[in-house]
Every structure is written in C-alpha cells, then in structure tokens.
Structure 1
C-alpha cells in the first residue's frame, strides 16, 4: 500500500474512539499491514522511534501534522510496544503540545498504533478532562491494558473498576465487580464482608484492584469498625504482597501503608481465632522481610506496626492459639501450629545477627497452598529479592542450606537466588557471584533483568562485602534452625540426600532418582520422583513414577530409613504410581 493509499484508508475509517462509544469491544476493523521484514529491536528500535516522532510531538496538532504522524507511525519497522515505551520515557520539548497531540490521537486515531501513542502521552501528561475518553477506550480489549495504566494516575478508582470489568470472569469474584459497577453502588463494606477472599479465590492483581475500587484504606478508618471487614482487609493486603505473580502488587497500591496502619491499629477487635492469627502473622511476615517492608513508611512506622502485632499475638487472649496441638491431631493441624510458633519467634523475638547479612526462612500461612517456603536475604535490614528483582520469591531453603551453595571459597561461584514465578526463560532470574577474599566474603557480579517490574531501569548493584566470620556464623545459624520444616518435608529432605549419595539403590531397578520432598498437592505427603533409565539406544518416552508416603506420625528419620530399606529390597515400580 502506498503512502497516499494508506492516508486515504486512514481518513476513510471511523476512529477507534467511535467504536468504543458504540460499546464495541472485539469487532474492530482490520488494520492495514505493517512494514515487511523482521523490524528493529532494542536500542535501534528506540532510536528510530525518537528520531521519527520527536520533532512532530513538539509541533502543533494541525491536520497536516497529524497526517504526517500517522504516516510515520505506519512506516516505522518496530513493534507498537516500542512506540509506547519510547513515548513514556523520551524527553518532550513542549509538554503542552505533546498533550494536545495525545488528545487528538486518542479521539481520532483509526488504528491501534496512533491511539496507543496517544494513550501513552496521556499517561504522562493527561488531566482530569481526559478521563472520559480514556475510559471509553478501556472498553476495547486490545487497548484496555494501556488505557487502564493511563487512568491510574488520574483516577485510580475508575482504573481499578475498568481493570476488574475487563479481566474478571470467575464466578466467585464477578458478582462483586458487577455490584461495584452498578448504579447506585450497594453498601461497599457489606460487599467486601460477604466476598470470598481465600487465596484460591483471588490473585494478587485482583486483590489490589478490589482494594482500590472499594477505597479500602478509607473503609478501615471509619467508625464503627467491623471485625469481619478487618479480617477481609488483612486477606487483601496479604494477597497483594504475594510474589506468585509478575510483581508484588502491594508496591503499586497507593493506600497500602495507610491501610496497614489502620488495620493494625484496630486489630485488637478481631476475635482471637487461629484464622485471624494466621492472617495477621502473614501480614507481619511481609512487614518483616517481604515486599510490604518496602512501602514508603514514615521513620519508625513499620517497626511500630510490627511491635503492635507482636504485642497483640503474644497477649494472653491470643497466646493459647500458639500451643502445641494434641499428638493425634491431623498432620495439617500440627503443621500449621508449628508454623505459627516458629514464624512468630522468627519475626517478633529472634535477635538479628551482628553482621550485615541476615538469612530468614519464612512463609505465609501453610494452609495457603499457593505460597511456598522461601529463603529471604536481608542486607543492612532491607529485603534483597523483592527490592532488586521483584518477579518471584527466593528459592526454597533446600537449595541453599542443604546444599551449601552459599558457602564462600576462594573459587568464585555463581548462585541463583531467585527466579521469576513464570520461569527464568520468561521474565528472568537473580544471580550473584559469591567469593571469599581473605577475611571478607563478597557478593558481586550481579545478573538480573535490565528493568524492574515497574519498567524503571534496574539500578547497578554494588559489590556487598561481609565480615567472613560473621557470614559463616549466619550461614551456620540458618542451616541449624530447621523448625521451618515439617515431618513430610523433613522426610523428603533426608531421602533426597540419601538417594543422591546412593544412586545404586534405584539403579538396580533400572531407574534413576530425580527428586524427593513434600508433595506439591498434599504437603503432608512425601513424594519420591524417579524415572526408568530405559535400555541403551531405545527410542520413545521414558516412564516417570512417584512414590507417595503419607505422614503416619512416625519420626522423619525412621520413615526415611524404612523407605530406603524397601527401595533396597523391592522394585519401586511395583508400588509407585504415575505423576
């Protein structure tokens, strides 16, 4: 298509804004084909966008200028994402002119690229008068995400409502969304109180948007306070801080600090139950060393909130919840009780080590099967992984403390501290090189994605230096405290270590060991994974097996010894099953 034909096609098409006003969401017109070829990537793409569009964004929004802008956008051999990224970061010589052009593109653009550019400009420069047109475009599926981000600065509640309306389809959460979108809106406090907010019902991103759409911080400040609302608020704040998502949503919730303070200040009205103790302790875990630690707290505010939570959970009315259950209690009850005791000790009572580095093994409520036990690293009191990486939690303690991966020697060793929850191949991982230099241990040569989850460039990390004696002592302390584990997991750790040292136990049955630990679906069952070795040169898939051993109450060392004895006597393919 020639440039003239393209301009004619563009001017004869209705704007996407017009489609949005009709209530159309998916039936958008076909767009003209883009430039042929692979296109530019990375810095070359950004440079091409700046060179092509920069001068036009400083000029008047005349029909001729906009026509030229449409033509250049259509011809740029880059992805639309590059156009948006550059528009969000490039210097603008005349912000008023760029704002006027953004408004014109939003209302008159006939294809996705110019409208996306307009939304990116309004995300930076928009004013309250731009909200209606951005809201209209948010109804178009392919523009919804960019429109919502443009709304967040101008009208966070409307942005949250538009996000929820476009994303939520689940039966459990959709009635709440529909009620919030209704006119008039029912009693929001009652809506929240009735809403199921278990971890399996609401993810981190929806939790944040629900908090924004309902004005959670303001609800918590009102009198009289309803204990049921407090419990729901705690669940939302804990879900927002989960790192089982692309980023910790609580860091993007402007009302997070105010909501946390209002909740903790009034938490004494909550009835002392195990469920309430678990959610308050989970909140404390995040204040202590998780993403919530990184909120913009006033001096001493975070520490005061932790002290208040510790005082409440340690008070006579609540202390009985931390007692050991009966020996014949179900494994899940015993596991949760052990978590309550260990975690409250680590968060509220354990003194910090004298060195710069602290290693914590912590988790949220084990009844929430979406969370996992993670290793947390605090350097000078700041949680390292959520601050410098933020795409996933630190690896389980077995990866560091059972293997000695963090031991420092004169031979440098690269260690992966965390991986994006969606895998390294998707969103990266956090690596550091550990080396001993005389009386000092150095963490240096960091590797991680070039940008933080927020999109901001990742700052250069320094080489952290630790006193070698203090470093070794902290590793030994962390490795020696195994109270974070529970019988099924401890049994798995013992089996994992033994089967790696004794491969012949499975080799005699033409099998090779893979992994042992607590089962992902049932944490109170130990799972031993192995696979057939297959005949040399044989084609076809290799069969995998899992031997599952439910917790029968016996000590982990006895269970592990019995399992090893059986593996030595009987072919496990006879009693193991498929994954």
Structure 2
C-alpha cells in the first residue's frame, strides 16, 4: 500500500449528511439542483460478487443481532460485501425485520446515528429505513437533507411520507420536477416562503407536458392545498388550479394511482365542487368540471374511500351547476379552430356522468372520451359492481378503446374461453405491462377469471382478482348496448370506425394490394381527420409473402369534408377497392432501407 493509500485509509470519510449540508450551503439560496446531487464517491467498485439471494442473506446477517452503533453496521456491510446497488434490498429487508419492544429505542438510536454519521450509501439507507419505521418529527430535517442525493431520494421520500408528507413532497419535487416552469414554485417550497407559494402555484400551466399525475400529487401535498383553499375561500384562480390538479392526478393515461395515494383528495374534491359556483363559466372551467364528473362517475375517483352517498351528492351538485344556462352556454362556445373539438366534446359528453342507472348494474361499460385539449384517451371502461376494473387492478395505463374491445367483439362470451387484454401501459406492454382476463360462457352465466398482469422486471406475481360471474342474458344485453352506442363518437372518429368495419367485413379490399390492416382511428394531432394505416408485404395476396419480417407501414389521412360520415366511409372503401392505396398513402413506418429497396420515399420525419 502506498503512503497516499495509507493516508486515505486512515482518514475518516465525511458523513453523507455533512457533505449534503455543504453542497446546499454552496448552492444559490440553498436550493438543490434539478435531479439532485451525486454521491461524493462510489462506496464500492467492481462487479457485484453476490447473487440476489446471497445479498438478501447478507443483509439479514448484518442485522442479526441488531447492532448497537453505526460503526458495527458499517463493518458488517463491508465484510459481507453489501454495496450501493443493494439499497433496495436493504430498504425492503429492514422494513420487514421483527422489532421486539425492548429494542425499539436501540433501533431508533441506530437509525439516527446512521443518517447523521453514515459515510456509505448502504449504511445511510439502512438508517433511513429504520427511521421510516421508528422515526419521529426530529428526524425530518435530516431525512430532508439526505434526500438531495438522488440515489437516496427514493428511500428518504418513503420515510418522510410516514413522518411528514409535505416534506416528502418538497424533496420529491426538488429532485424530480425538471421543467423550468416548475422551478419558481419549487424554490418557494424549499425555502418555506409561504407568501410566494400561492402566486407561483396559480401561475403554473396545467398541461400534461408540465404536470404529470405524480407532479400534480406532489404539488398538492407540498403546497398543503386544502389549507390554502381554506385560507383563500373566494380565490377562483386557486380553486381552478385545485380542480386541474385533481384531474391530472386521476388521469388514466398517466398513473391514476396518484389520486388514490393523495390522502387529502376527499377534502379537495369537497372544496372544489362546493365552491364551483364561484368560478367564471368559461370553456376551460366547464371542461375541468366535466372531467372531474367523469372521474367521479366511472374513473379512479370512484375508488376513493367516500363516506356513504357523498360521491353521489358531489356528482348531483356538478350536474345541477353544469346544466345552468350560463354554464351550458360556456360549454357550447368555441369559435376558434383549436376550441371547436373541446366544445363539441362538452356538447356530446356533458350529461353522460350524471345519467346513472336506475338500479346498480353488476356489469356495465362506459365509453368515456377525455378532454381533447389535453389529448386524453377514449376508454371503454368496464365497471363491476359500480367500480372501474382497470384502475382497481392495474393502474399503469388506460382501459383499451371501444374500437379494440367492442368493435371487434372481444368482450363477447362464447363456450371457448378467450383471453382479452383489457389495458396496456401507456408506454407499451414491453415496458410496464398489461392486464388480461379470460372470458367464457358457462351455461346461463358469463365468467371472468384467470386474471393476468404482465410486469416486466417484476420478481413477484401481481395479486390476482377473484373470478366474477354475471347473468349471461344481462351481460350480453349490456355488450350489445355498448357495441351499438355511438353517442360518444365525433364525425372523424365515426368515419374511421365505419372504414374499419368495412375492412373487417371485406379484408380483400386491402389484401388484393398485398396489404394488411393496421391502426385505424381519428388523427392524434388532428382529431377532425380519419387515419387509415396498413402494412405492405410484397406477395401477400398470392400467399407467398416476400420478407414478411420487414413490412412497410403506410398512412392515409382522410379530412372530414362535411358530408355524412357514412358517405365518406363508403367513398373511402370504394377508393380502396379501385386504387392501390400505396399510390396515395404515405410511408410512415418500417425501415428506410426497405422503403428505398421497394421504390418508396422515406419521410423526413420518420
């Protein structure tokens, strides 16, 4: 060992807590940067010699018997090969350790010693986990400071959520809120400048681009939203933004479980709905209140722990308000081109959440169109005993569209069991999974059973819901009603659905051109267009496809020309029958090399 190595070995390392304090003192106004700080050094190098099971046993051994001082735990971790990458194991194992009453004070003292003097991520993580179980209010400032290290943010926030949810939210926002627009609010929250919180909060944009469901929840928690609403009972800007935060938290495209995790959701719903009459009747406010009503009727809001009849009372209150002439007029206005889709959505959807069935249905389908201004999805929401299935079981993406679940008869029950994908994570199944159920007919009943969730990277199977049985006649009557109900659809969407139905009935319209049906719906960027996509594989029509693993995807955009949707769909199908669609559609997928090989131009934006 060299002299320098000996000196380094003998020199005590700086505690991570002290290092974080120094970094904050050197930061402008004492506010951590976005994404937090890196650790001052890696506390372990090289490959991990331990398998997952070996690491589990090592962590358990390190705590048996329970150390009485931080130095002992540091030494055990080093001897057993426990490294930074084991922090998730440390957190989960410490959370599950048996804790005899006589050792509570010892464990709490150990946790405090570790977070205040610990020099490695594993040791500090263990201290955070111990205080997540046994901590008290005096530990909050230390956990808050340690949370500025991004590798410790998750454990620190988890512990703080038990001790002080506001502090947990402030730490989370300081590290994870990356948009420039959010930084003034983060600054006010971190420096505890309460006078600046309200103006910075109402100045924030509510677009999903800036405020995801997770950010919305943390903003509400960090700003102590119910208290703000109580201190400013007539503040309409604050009331509007509170409603928008609730909408964002329950957004099915994002992570609706954020709404369920927000402990003050019922209080904020009460404040927003009971004071909604104070709001100016604008198109934006009408859309916000309608979105809240749709969520309270058939979305994640149903799943909150409501007192008896309270949710129904809030829905009734919203229904009466939005039916008033001034609000009906606000929802009908939208002369600007970018407002027309939203105004049309309100006209079509405005009374849907208030038309509750006379008798509760065991099985019901609600096709719900989200606010088009925020490009919210169209969902075929399945409700069992009045509760939406997808956010109850899955919660990582919206229910599938009616085109997927209804137009192709996937929810119909036959003698042969059929597995149906009810929902997929918005980022795709390969990333965050999907939800499946098997549907079959059993005499005079329909059975939903064998629920399955795909969860890439998960080592534990997801909990499986029970099997459900429905009266077959009532079930098929509800399926038939939902399949034929088009009141939710707008013109371009109807055109697309009619074209798709025609291609399902006559697949030869595409196959004669060596093409197969792809995605068909209204345009994502322009909902007033119908979009037909198809895959081209030379030789498909003859039964001898050439390089079927390298198809080209084409996209045909059909603007709404003002004639009836039926006439436009018929004209589109006729054109497909008479003209090769590759001559008027544009390449939108596949590969540049394959496109050039087949004589097609590759789009610059692809």
Q: Residues 446 and 461 of structure 1 are in contact (CA less than 8 Å); yes or no, is this contact kept in structure 2? A: yes
Residue in 2 that maps onto 1:396: 401
Corresponding position of 2:346: 340
- Which residue does 2:89 correspond to in 1? 82
CA positional deviation for 1:182? 4.1
Partner of 1:234: 243
What is aligned with 1:429?
A: 434
Greater mean deviation of Cα atoms: 231-240 or 145-154: 145-154
Give the structure 2 partner of residue 22 of structure 1. 22
Q: CA deviation at 1:392?
A: 1.5
1:417 aligns with 2:422: yes
Shift of 1:11: 7.7
Aligned-pair CA distance for 1:258: 0.5
Aligned to 2:370: 364
Q: CA 1:62–1:138 in 2, change beyond 3 Å: closer, same or farther?
A: closer
Are positions 1:507 and 2:511 aligned together? Answer: yes
CA contact 2:253–2:377 (8 Å) conserved in 1: no
For 1:200 and 1:62, locate their aligned partners in 2 and report how far apart those are by CA, in whole Å: 44
Name the SS of the counterpart of 2:171 in structure 1: helix
Distance 1:256 1:284 in 2: 14
Pick one of 554, 558, 570 that aligns with 2:567: 558
Deviation for aligned residue 1:45: 6.1
In the other structure, the counterpart of 2:137 is: 128
Going from structure 1 to structure 2, the CA distance change for 1:537 and 1:365 (only over 3 Å counts) comes to: closer
Q: CA deviation at 1:255?
A: 1.5
What is the distance in 2 between the residues matched to 1:474 and 1:537? 44
5+ unaligned residues in a row in structure 2: which ranges?
Answer: 25-36, 540-544, 589-606
1:246–1:420: 8 Å Cα contact kept in structure 2? Answer: no
Q: Is the 8 A contact 2:188 2:196 kept in 1?
A: no
Q: 1:431 to 1:539 in 2, by over 3 A?
A: closer
Distance 1:76 1:141 in 2: 16
1:328-357 deviation per Cα after TM superposition (whole angstroms, max 9, x unaligned): x67765543443244333210242565411
Residue equivalent to 2:487: 483
Task: Look up the match of 2:529.
Answer: 525
1:378 corresponds to 2:386: no
- 1:346-385 Cα offsets, whole Å, 9 max, x none, are 210242565411111113312211x201121221122221
Please say if residues 202 and 237 of structure 2, whose CA atoms lie closer than 8 Å, have aligned partners that are also in contact: yes
| Between 178-187 and 229-238, the greater mean CA deviation after superposition | 178-187
Residues 407-445 of structure 1: per-residue CA shift (max 9 Å, x gap): 111211111111222322232222111111111111111
* Counterpart among 32, 44, 48 of residue 44 in structure 2: 32
Quick check: 1:359–1:377 contact (8 Å CA) kept in 2?
yes
TM-score w.r.t. the length of structure 1 is: 0.89
Matches of residues 443-522 of structure 1 in structure 2 within 5 Å?
Answer: 443-448=448-453, 459-522=463-526
CA distance in 2, matches of 1:389, 1:467: 25
Q: Structure 1 residues 249, 36: CA separation in 2 closer, same or farther (over 3 Å shift)?
A: closer
1:37: Cα distance to partner? Answer: 4.6
Distance 1:355 1:234, change over 3 A: closer
Cα deviation, 1:422-479, whole Å, max 9, x if unaligned, reads: 322232222111111111111111112689x9x9995542111111111111111211
SS in 2 for 1:531: strand
Q: Secondary structure at the match of 1:521?
A: coil
Structure 1 residue 267 corresponds to structure 2 residue 267: no
Alpha-carbon distance change, 38 to 558 in structure 1, aligned in 2, over 3 angstroms: farther
Q: Deviations over 1:196-218 (max 9, x none)?
A: 22333311111111111221111
Query: Residue 69 in 1 paired to residue 81 in 2?
Result: no
Match of 2:262 among 253, 257, 279: 253
Q: How does 1:90-169 map to 2 (within 5 A)?
A: 90-93=97-100, 94-169=103-178
Distance 2:447 2:362 in 1: 12
1:244 corresponds to which of 241, 245, 253 = 253
Pairwise mapping of residues 25-64 of structure 1 onto structure 2 (< 5 A)? 25-26=37-38, 28-33=40-45, 36-37=48-49, 39-40=51-52, 44=53, 48=57, 51-57=60-66, 59-61=67-69, 63=71
- Using the alignment, how far apart are the partners of 1:253 and 1:11 within structure 2? 46
1:299 to 295, 299, 308: 308
The Cα shift of 1:565 comes to 1.7
Q: Does the aligned pair in 2 maintain the 1:35–1:77 contact within 8 Å?
A: no
Report the secondary structure of 2:276's partner residue.
helix
CA–CA distance in 2 between the matches of 1:543 and 1:449? 29
| Inter-CA distance 363–116: structure 2 relative to 1 (3 Å threshold) | farther
Relative to structure 1, the CA distance from residue 15 to residue 510 in structure 2 (aligned partners, 3 Å threshold; closer, same or farther) is same
TM-score (norm 2): 0.85
**C-alpha distance in 2 between matches for 1:103 and 1:174:** 31
User: Is residue 410–residue 437 contact of structure 1 (8 Å, CA) maintained in 2?
Assistant: yes
Taking a change above 3 Å as real, the CA distance of residues 101 and 229 of structure 1, as seen in their structure-2 partners, is: same
Unaligned stretches of 5+ in structure 1?
none
1:547 aligns with 2:556: yes
Rounded Cα–Cα distance in structure 1 between residues aligned with 2:382 and 2:256: 18
Aligned residue pairs, count: 564
RMSD across aligned positions (CA): 3.1
Tell me if the contact between 2:418 and 2:440 (Cα under 8 Å) persists in the aligned partners. Answer: yes
Residue by residue over 1:87-131, the C-alpha shift from the partner in whole angstroms, topping out at 9 and shown as x without a partner, is: 223433333333222222222332222222222222222111111
CA distance 1:223–1:23, change in 2 (3 Å): closer
Q: Give per-residue Cα distances to partners, 1:31-81, cap 9 Å, x unaligned.
A: 2236645712xxx46862564244233x42364x32443235534898432
Deviation at 1:564? 1.6
Q: Secondary structure at the match of 1:303?
A: helix
Query: What is the alpha-carbon distance in structure 1 between the residues aligned to residue 161 and residue 130 of structure 2?
Result: 14
| Deviation of 1:279 (Å) | 0.3
